């Protein structure tokens, strides 16, 4: 690569870079699509003007593409050019929904530098910034889930994946600060999103301003390097709304895209799941303490059929006067569910429920940590999608839970997937979150081979307490029979004492009293 020519021509610079692609490490111009070259041709003059400190012909760019359309790579090339060749020191910012998303840009820049030693000699990737000592340019990577200084006035702002940024204030602060540099450059990159949201309002502003204040660029079809087989697999893997949004650039209704409405409706029934010898119960607890809701969901499962059913669901709103959830009510509800259903496990996130879980564990409730780390978040998301799409779960008509399920969105992360929902007056889809916590426990329990000895107990449909009482009554009848009550047989008293001794030695209940 001729660095002198690269410094004055963004398209030439991009074309001669080696990048990781679907075909392996390749020179960019050997694998790029026409729309990518057009993007570099369009944004190049504005970028060079900013690097020289001049007024760019257009300083606002909307870059909307379908999944896999190379937004991160292409805009990382733009940032790298400014870092390596700017004629003046530039402050740059990358804003993203969270650290996972922000890390995608950092990774794209690092991968390009790895394959291009000439540029890597000038540009260095640090923890959450990219710097060039020669040009004294720095690019800071920011995310909504970490504290950051919104007061900076960047010369170049890159807002990445706008459709995933939940806080408009975060995006607006960054954008407003960037507008204070009239000779700066502002780039918004995103997939298509949801109708009726603030992201759609921003998109309409950019589209209406195309040719004057904005350059509006969209790719509304699958990326050309995605095969038909990959698209068919993606269609099977995703809900209809999510597939259309991500792979065909369709802005969809403001409902969650994790589950199809048809799958949710198919799960609703007024017929309870029958209890059998293979029945078990597990629960999920989503705990909110301050200014958030809490929820408990109990699932019934059957190890012989692998089917699951909603047995109980309850949520708690914060007290208006204190802004807090009454945790004593939550604790008592979990314990009552344990007594009523004989819960095998209660899943919870220890981040906010550690003390509550310890108190319940002291009361013999089998608490099970479901820490919200990448592996568990991915497990919860995939399990929920699988049980609804395979029609393995049935729900009774619970309007609040159903509303929460319809709000669920699924986000792709470096570790896989996670479920999310925008906060509203009813919280963060807390009932759906509690269900998602319980489902992996239920699927695991349902997968265990049932071990049943003897004939089905005719009292199986009773509660655990009722079954224990029935068992003791049968033992009492056995003792009476051995003692010869109601007969004239000799030795009845000896038989009674022998039966009582057997009970004392072998029955766990009598052993408890004996130990005490």
Tokens matching residue 261: 């409405």
Residue 225 has pLDDT above 90, yes or no: yes
Number of separate helices (H) and strands (E) present in the chain: 19, 18
| Across 31-51, average pLDDT | 96
* Stretch among 20-29, 305-314, 392-401 having the lowest mean pLDDT: 20-29
pLDDT of residue 455: 47
pLDDT of residue 383: 94
Q: Coil, strand, or helix at residue 417? A: strand
Separation between Cα atoms, residue 208 and residue 402, nearest integer Å = 37
pLDDT confidence of 196, banded at 50, 70, 90?
confident
Instruction: Report DSSP letters for 280-330, one per residue.
Output: EEEEEEE---BSS-EEEEEEEEETTT--EEEEEEEEEPPPTTTSB--HHHH
Q: Are 285 and 353 in contact (CB under 8 A)?
A: yes
Separation between Cα atoms, residue 233 and residue 41, nearest integer Å = 34
- Alpha carbon 273 to chain centroid distance? 29
Residue 267 has pLDDT above 70, yes or no: yes
Separation between Cα atoms, residue 267 and residue 386, nearest integer Å = 13
Residue 274 has pLDDT above 90, yes or no: yes
Tokens matching residue 5: 């020519």
Burial of 502 (0-12, 13-18, 19+ CB in 10 A): middle
Instruction: Determine what percent of the chain is predicted with pLDDT higher than 70.
Output: 83
Q: Nearest to residue 214, comparing CAs of 67, 52, 51, 42? A: 42
pLDDT confidence of 49, banded at 50, 70, 90?
very high
Pairing of strands 294-302, 308-316: antiparallel
- Exposure b/e, 134-143, CB count within 10 A at least 16 = b: ebebbbbbbb
**Higher per-residue confidence, 4 vs 498:** 4
| Across 32-38, average pLDDT | 95
Helix spans in 116-260 (H): 117-120, 168-178, 198-208, 228-237, 240-248
Tokens matching residue 361: 């564990």
pLDDT of residue 451: 54
Angle at 255 between CA 251 and CA 258, to 5 degrees: 95
| 3-state percent breakdown (helix, strand, coil) of the chain, nearest 5 | 45, 20, 35
Arithmetic mean of pLDDT over the chain? 86
Q: Nearest to residue 128, comparing CAs of 84, 167, 93? A: 93
- 273 CB-near residues (< 8 Å, 6+ apart): 279, 300, 302, 307, 309, 394
Q: Are 181 and 154 in contact (CB under 8 A)?
A: yes
pLDDT of residue 105: 87
pLDDT of residue 89: 95
- Exposure b/e, 302-340, CB count within 10 A at least 16 = b: bbeeebbbbbbbbbbebeeeeeebebeebbebbbebbee
Separation between Cα atoms, residue 477 and residue 479, nearest integer Å = 5
Separation between Cα atoms, residue 341 and residue 299, nearest integer Å = 10
Q: Are 337 and 345 in contact (CB under 8 A)?
A: no
Please write the tens of the pLDDT for every residue from 453-495.
544 444 545 555 666 667 667 766 665 655 554 444 445 556 6
pLDDT of residue 322: 80
pLDDT of residue 98: 80
Separation between Cα atoms, residue 497 and residue 390, nearest integer Å = 57
For the question of whether the overall pTM of this predicted structure is more than 0.85, the answer is no
Give the DSSP letter of residue 348.
E
| Across 325-351, average pLDDT | 93
pLDDT of residue 516: 47
Residue 401 has pLDDT above 60, yes or no: yes
Give the DSSP letter of residue 213.
T
Separation between Cα atoms, residue 328 and residue 359, nearest integer Å = 11
């Amino acid at each position: 690569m001729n660095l002198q020519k690269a410094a004055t021509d963004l398209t030439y610079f991009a074309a001669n870079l080696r990048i990781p692609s679907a075909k392996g490490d390749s020179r960019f111009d050997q694998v790029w699509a026409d729309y990518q070259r057009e993007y570099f041709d369009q944004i190049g003059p504005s970028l060079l003007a900013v690097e020289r400190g001049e007024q760019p012909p257009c300083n606002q760019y909307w870059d909307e593409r379908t999944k896999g359309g190379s937004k991160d790579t292409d805009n990382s090339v733009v940032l790298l050019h400014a870092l390596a060749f700017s004629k003046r020191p530039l402050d740059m910012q990358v804003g993203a929904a969270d650290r996972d998303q922000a890390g995608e840009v950092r990774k794209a820049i690092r991968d390009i530098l790895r394959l291009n030693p000439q540029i890597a000699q000038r540009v260095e990737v640090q923890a959450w910034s990219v710097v060039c000592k020669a040009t004294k340019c720095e690019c800071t990577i920011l995310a909504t889930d970490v504290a950051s200084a919104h007061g900076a006035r960047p010369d170049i702002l890159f807002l990445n994946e706008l459709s995933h940024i939940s806080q408009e204030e975060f995006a607006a602060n960054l954008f407003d600060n960037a507008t204070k540099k009239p000779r700066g450059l502002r780039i918004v990159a995103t997939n298509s999103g949801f109708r009726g949201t603030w992201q759609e309002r921003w998109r309409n502003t950019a589209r209406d301003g195309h040719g004057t204040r904005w350059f509006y660029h969209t790719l509304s079809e699958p990326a050309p390097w995605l095969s038909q087989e990959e698209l068919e697999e993606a269609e099977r893997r995703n809900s209809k709304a999510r597939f259309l949004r991500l792979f065909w650039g369709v802005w969809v209704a403001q409902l969650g895209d994790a589950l199809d409405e048809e799958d949710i409706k198919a799960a609703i029934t007024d017929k309870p799941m029958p209890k059998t010898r293979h029945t078990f119960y597990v629960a999920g607890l989503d705990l909110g303490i301050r200014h958030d809701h809490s929820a408990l969901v109990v699932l019934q499962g059957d190890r012989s059929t692998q089917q699951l059913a909603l047995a109980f669901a309850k949520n708690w709103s914060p007290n208006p006067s204190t802004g807090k959830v009454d945790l004593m009510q939550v604790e008592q509800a979990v314990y009552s569910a344990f007594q009523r259903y004989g819960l095998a496990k209660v899943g919870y996130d220890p981040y906010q429920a550690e003390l509550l879980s310890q108190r319940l564990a002291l009361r013999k409730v089998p608490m099970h940590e479901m820490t919200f780390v990448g592996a568990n978040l991915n497990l919860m998301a995939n399990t929920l999608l699988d049980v609804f799409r395979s029609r393995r779960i049935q729900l009774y008509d619970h309007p609040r839970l159903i509303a929460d399920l319809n709000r669920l969105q699924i986000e792709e992360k470096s570790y896989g997937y996670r479920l999310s929902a925008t906060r509203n007056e009813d919280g963060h889809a807390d009932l759906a979150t509690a269900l998602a916590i319980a489902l992996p426990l239920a699927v695991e329990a349902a997968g265990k081979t049932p071990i049943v000895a003897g004939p089905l107990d005719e009292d199986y449909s009773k509660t655990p307490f009722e079954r224990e009482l029935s068992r003791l009554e049968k033992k009492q009848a056995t003792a009476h029979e051995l003692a010869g009550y109601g007969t004239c047989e000799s030795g009845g008293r000896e038989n009674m004492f022998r039966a009582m001794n057997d009970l004392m030695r072998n029955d766990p209940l009598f052993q408890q009293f004996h130990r005490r």
